[in-house]
Structure 1
């Protein structure tokens, strides 16, 4: 079992963000743990270990060595600085958003749009991602399924909803008589953010033209929105998925308005299996609307 102490700060932040997005307020363990005593013991152990580590001048802080007149070669090296002219990931700005909008609107098919997104270089998320995730599936049912952003499995496989979450999504689709081939699946963000963190406001803004153009090109009859981030993105609200789920709302993209229903993301259901009952209720509502004639 992975312990918190074995995780990097970025992994811990991503895990906490996931639990917060899923509506988790408290984290409990099977057995009570005296955190105060454990912290005191760790602090005492560090204080005992520090003098031993400082016994060798090679491990003394640089400022202490300098005060003792130690030669520069024995001091800790200065923090490396980026070389002049080195390229750093650009933060999306108004020009980048305009470029994304132009690239999206210029595409006349999903294939052209995928090529445009893969060639887009003005979003820093693309620099750390292995794959570009865009709409996949035939969409013969008139359904479009949209999640938040790719995770590590998606980035590795080059396909949205891979791994265990993908297997659960397959079962959810099967429950309403659909398959991956009969729907179109995509994500709001086409690139996996580093460490699975939440995309920033500017990053989300620059990706908006791409997902909206995908919706406009697919022209789905209904949209199933998965997860807190995607629901907030489309509905413009700040509530959790538990407050946003199960209610029909119209979303617009490129002059195309389509009814959308939000439910919990498969990854959230894997973390909290008790919520599967809520997702099942949402799927029943979605299926009922799906069986209603478009003009009914």
Structure 2
């Protein structure tokens, strides 16, 4: 039995142009090593573009990073390009050792090694893109890195920030370990990665534990709120429930959306199924991902919605 109503979208009764997104049933999710949540919002009205709504606070975090301001998150530095640079530098060094050992410490040799290192760093992006394109239709694919930013280490002030957010939203907020934020002309996508062992359940009352956390808020431009709601929107959610053993990650990926208020999912042929979840089993090793099986699970409610 799949966990139900894991992601909840609710319209704020007091501030109607704000929608809150929560994650529920953290007690059930604790059985997994990590949980990933990818959420996309796509308004159907052509009068509403991506610049007419904001994902707070993550959109601000990313904009702060891009403008070189202090943020709760920091850019993840790619290591693979450095590895390729070191590899090519080592190859050039080996060539000099074998063919011209007497010139190993010459200026020509040193410049060749340094040049190979920087060429390797620049070359990696092309190699990576080629791998992604080449394996796109394979059962085992080389996949792009989903996340561009990681949470900085907690400080004492972070505790005060978490405390203040609880007063603001009425429940504790949850900051993912890794995020990515993608803004296109008509849509916005937020990707979040949570390490479950780092999430503690809070005792709230009478020995009960709170199993819900606030993730983020969607702020709609007030003047376009009626247009946004009248024409409808797609609120799509992907949840990946992961268990990792000896470097191998087994994932149950679940997809469900609200489309004009209706709950459902698309199958692999692009056909909409009401009140259903699209499910996919995968295995991931590093950046290589194997797609095992997939299908539609009827009568499932992965996400929930409330208005006012």
More strand by share: 2
When Rg is computed on C-alpha atoms for both structures, the one with the higher figure is 1
Classify the TM-score, shorter chain: under 0.3
Alignment TM-score, normalising by the size of structure 1: 0.25
Ranked by relative contact order (alpha carbons within 8 Å, sequence separation 6 or more), the top structure is: 2
